[in-house]
Amino acid sequence: MAGGEAKKPNAGGKKKEVKKETGLGLTNKKDENFGEWYSEVVVNGEMIEYYDISGCYILRPWTMSIWETMQEFFDAEIKKMKVKNCYFPLFVSSTVLEKEKDHIEGFAPEVAWVTRSGKSELEVPVAIRPTSETVMYPYYSKWIRGHRDLPLRLNQWCNVVRWEFSNPTPFIRSREFLWQEGHTAFATKDEADEEVLQILELYRRIYEEFLAIPVIKGKKSELEKFAGGLYTTSVEAYIPNTGRGVQGATSHCLGQNFAKMFEISFENEKGEKAMVWQNSWAYSTRTIGVMVMVHGDDKGLVLPPKVASVQVIVVPVPYKDANTQGIFDACTETVNTLSEAGIRAEADFRDNYSPGWKYSHWEMKGVPLRIEIGPKDLANNQVRAVRRDNSAKVDIPRASLVEQVKELLGNIQQNLFDVAKQKRDACVEIVKTWEEFIAALGKKKLILAPWCDEEEVEKDVKARTKGEMGAAKTLCSPFDQPELPEGTLCFASGKAAKKWTYWGRSY
Ligand code: 87F
């Protein structure tokens, strides 16, 4: 409980200092200076603290509890799918890392190396994992012998390091981040294909059901897929303020590329040697950054109830001659009643802050619902509830507290999703020609266009849209394809269009 014991303020007679009520609000507005607003929100909302190494951030408890809620869900779901957790070392030897030269090539500048211990140079430097294919697959080769060893489905929750040089952003692009990485091997491609989509559905649920963010499920282009794999599927989110798409999570079918590289083969039922089919999939703490960007407002964070570690904050509003102890007791009882019903509620009894300061503080931290209890509420045996998402106020009789709070939290969760979806949908623009495409890009739209699906054309679009803001690229071809009438032409090449694809600038 914030502030500890529910005691009447100044009970000891000594006058406590009431903190200055300044410096709580945000200095930047979301619509005016998005970048500065974002940094301010994650710091003032007590999610992140900046660190003295660029691109590295401290994840505070307010962040970790959100991560843990998603982790609990995802971990239980993959266990139902018979995925087992494991942990592989943080370090990679240069020999294995370079084994898959082809795909590592493009990533090489981001790999961080340990070259020294104390003052002496290591004989052989070791890399810090940027992802664990090369760490894990030599052991898959050892562990998989016969068809009875399959499927092999492992996952690990860990940190990875990618020494990025483009501008770091908390959660969205950091040099170290937390994720889960799943790595699975099957006897058949069909089994692998099926799992790719099962995992992608879990990622959709994390975004839509937990974080209240609409995402688009689809397939990445050849240019944008994971180069080491066969095909990549993803969930794509969109940030209306910047007009950028953001890859939310990826689920790859690796085909047999890594199996060949690492000699991961098995003896099938007919006694023949066969290569395994592999998948890999991941989501990271980037999810949390997307949540902040989509829902946050000029008062700070806005947390969806399903992931908020405090869903209801109870604030006593004592008044000069009022029955202060009575108000405090009502607050304690309210927290107890809600907690017993499984609602995450706390009271803020701190006596060195005014109620108004507390309102701003918990709004900054994004708590979905505030309950105020003052003399009038005490007299009427009610509480006043104030929603974080739309500031709506409602008086709730204490007799129906649990029911109504549950309903309100459900409504807030739904409303956050609905509003985010409306905003996203309002930014989708269907274009048919290059001129329309350029106009839509200038308006920061999420562009849906008929495309010939040729790599050279995507490269050409990138080159032609290169600028200060970054080039436009494909985000994904949605699985949910609108009808493509016969004779539709590619917006960029004028050739026959093969599919509808989302385009835009992205993170
Ligand atoms: C950076 C440095 C070295 C991304 C990197 O998406 C290697 C890489 O392989 C690298 N950045 N990637 C691709 C990661 C692919 C894949 N790995 C397992 C996933 C899901 C989890």
Looking at residue 474, which CATH number applies to its domain?
Answer: 3.30.110.30
Determine the distance separating the centroid of ligand 1 and the alpha carbon of 154, expressed in angstroms: 16
Ligand 1: which atom is nearest the Cα of residue 111? 2
Ligand 1 atom 9, closest CA: 131
Is the model's pLDDT at 430 over the cut of 50?
yes
Distance in angstroms (rounded) separating the CA atoms of residues 301 and 366: 4
Answer yes or no: is 361 within a domain: yes
Over range 357-363, report the average pLDDT. Answer: 98
**Is residue 25 one of the residues assigned to a domain?**
no
The residue-averaged pLDDT of 20-28 equals 73
User: For residue 239, what are the β-bridge partners?
Assistant: 244
For the residues 114-138, what does the mean pLDDT come to?
96
Contact 431, 491 (CB under 8 A): yes
C-alpha distances in Å from residue 462, one per residue of 237, 446, 471, 473, 475: 20, 16, 5, 6, 12
- d(CA 139, CA 141) in angstroms, rounded, equals 5
CA 405 to centroid of ligand 1, rounded, Å: 43
CA atoms within 13 A on the CB side of 384: 17
Residue 300 lies in a domain: no
Examine residue 353 and state whether it is found in any structural domain, yes or no: yes
Q: Which of 413, 441, 457 is the last residue of a domain?
A: 413
**Is residue 421 a part of any domain in this protein?**
no
How many angstroms is it from 347 CA to the middle of ligand 1? 44
With contact defined as beta carbons under 8 Å apart, do 251 and 180 qualify? no
pLDDT, tens digit, 9 for 90 and up, residues 70-90:
999 999 999 999 999 999 999
Distance, in Å, from the CA atom of 369 to the CA atom of 455, rounded to the nearest integer, reads 49
Q: Is residue 338 part of a domain?
A: yes
How far apart are the CA of 451 and the centre of ligand 1, in A?
27
Q: With respect to residue 317, please indicate whether it lies within any of the assigned structural domains.
A: yes
Q: What letter does residue 141 receive in the DSSP assignment?
A: H
Q: Do 143 and 215 sit in the same domain of this protein? A: yes
Residues 439 and 344 in one domain: no
288 shares its domain with 321: no
The CB of 111 under 6 Å from ligand 1? The reply is yes
- Residue 246 CA to ligand 1 centre (angstroms): 16
Residue 6: predicted pLDDT: 52
Q: How many domains does the chain have?
A: 3
Instruction: Tell which one of 173, 200, 226, 286 to mutate to probe ligand 1, the residue whose CB is within 8 A of the most ligand atoms.
Output: 226
Q: Within 10 A of 120 (CB to CB), how many other CB atoms are there?
A: 7
Distance CA 158, CA 231 (A): 24
Beta strands in 206-329 (DSSP E): 216-219, 231-239, 244-255, 265-267, 273-275, 277-284, 312-316
- For ligand 1, the distance from its centroid to the CA atom of residue 19, given in whole angstroms, is 48
In terms of domains, do 227 and 281 share one?
A: yes
Same domain, 378 and 469: no
Question: Is 50's C-beta closer than 6 angstroms to any atom of ligand 1?
Answer: no
Give the separation between CA 443 and CA 465, rounded to whole angstroms. Answer: 14
Closest CA to 97 of 108, 106, 87: 108
Atom 14, ligand 1: residue with shortest CA distance: 131
Pair 69, 208 in one domain: yes
Full domain range(s) for residue 331: 312-413
In angstroms, the CA 94 to CA 104 distance is 11
Preceding peptide of 151 cis, ω within 30°: yes
Q: What distance in angstroms lies between residue 475's CA and the mean position of ligand 1's atoms?
A: 17
Domain match, 325 and 467 both = no
Q: Looking at the structure, do residues 246 and 331 belong to the same domain, yes or no?
A: no
Give the model's pLDDT for residue 19.
47
State whether 174 and 203 are in the same domain: yes
Find out whether 465 and 458 touch, Cβ atoms under 8 Å.
no
The pLDDT assigned to 461 comes to 98
* Average per-residue pLDDT for the chain: 95
For residue 229, how far is its CA from the centre of ligand 1 (angstroms)?
10
- Ligand 1 neighbour 253 (Cβ under 6 A): no
Distance 156 CA to ligand 1 centre (A): 14
- Give the span between the Cα atoms of 123 and 127, in whole angstroms: 13
> Of 385, 413, 441, which one is at a domain's C-terminal end?
413
**Counting runs of H as helices and runs of E as strands, what totals does the chain give?**
14, 23
Q: Give the model's pLDDT for residue 11.
A: 41
The token pair that represents 115 in the structure block = 């070259």
- Output the residue whose Cα is nearest ligand 1's atom 12: 131
How is 395-427 classified by DSSP, letter by letter?
EEEGGGHHHHHHHHHHHHHHHHHHHHHHHHHHH
Do residue 83 and residue 227 come from a single domain? yes
Residue 284 beta carbon below 6 angstroms from any ligand 1 atom: no
Residue nearest to atom 10 of ligand 1 (CA): 131
The answer, yes or no, to whether residue 5 has pLDDT greater than 60, is no
H or E segment to which residue 473 belongs: strand 473-478
Look up residue 402 and give its two tokens.
């649990």
* 499 Cβ inside 6 Å of ligand 1: no
User: What is the Cα–Cα distance from 315 to 357, expressed in whole angstroms?
Assistant: 11
Quote the strand ranges of 130-272, DSSP E.
152-161, 176-186, 216-219, 231-239, 244-255, 265-267
Answer whether residue 22 shows pLDDT above 70: no
Helix (H) or strand (E) holding 439: helix 434-442
Within a domain: residue 169? yes
Q: Which of 238, 263, 295 is the last residue of a domain?
A: 295
Q: Render pLDDT for 333-345 as a digit per residue (tens, 0 to 9).
A: 999 999 999 999 9
pLDDT for the residue 320: 83
Q: Kindly tell me if the per-residue pLDDT of 7 is higher than 90.
A: no
Residue 127 Cα to ligand 1 middle (Å) = 14
H helices of 296-427, in order, are: 324-340, 355-364, 375-380, 401-427
Cα(16) to centroid(ligand 1), Å: 54
Tell me what percent of the residues of the chain surpass a pLDDT of 90: 91
- Distance between CA atoms of residues 70 and 127, nearest Å: 29
CA 191 to ligand 1 centroid distance, Å: 22
Does the CA dihedral 375-377-381-386 come out positive or negative?
negative
Does residue 377 line the site of ligand 1, with CB under 6 A?
no
pLDDT of residue 17: 52
Task: Output the pLDDT for position 252.
Answer: 98
> Does residue 208 surpass a pLDDT of 90?
yes
Pick the range with the lowest mean pLDDT from 6-20, 231-245, 364-378: 6-20
Based on the fold, state whether residues 379 and 279 are members of the same structural domain.
no
For residues 438 and 365, state if they share a domain.
no
**β-bridge pairing 48-50 and 446-451:** unpaired
Cβ of 162 closer than 6 Å to ligand 1, yes or no, is: yes
Q: Which residue has the higher pLDDT, 476 or 95?
A: 476
pLDDT of residue 104: 75
**What's the confidence (pLDDT) of residue 418?**
98
Q: Which atom of ligand 1 is nearest to the CA of 232?
A: 6
Residue 258 has pLDDT above 90, yes or no: yes
Chain segment 139-161, per-residue pLDDT in tens: 999 999 999 999 999 999 999 99
Ligand 1: residue of 104, 131, 136, 226 to mutate (most ligand atoms within 8 A of CB) is 131
For range 130-141, the mean pLDDT:
97
What's the CA gap between 144 and 150, in Å, rounded?
7
Q: Which residues contact 384 (CB under 8 A, 6 or more apart)?
A: 371, 372, 373, 374, 377, 393, 394, 395, 396
CATH number of the domain at 341, please: 3.40.50.800
- pLDDT of residue 60 exceeding 90, the answer is yes
131 lines ligand 1 (CB under 6 A): yes
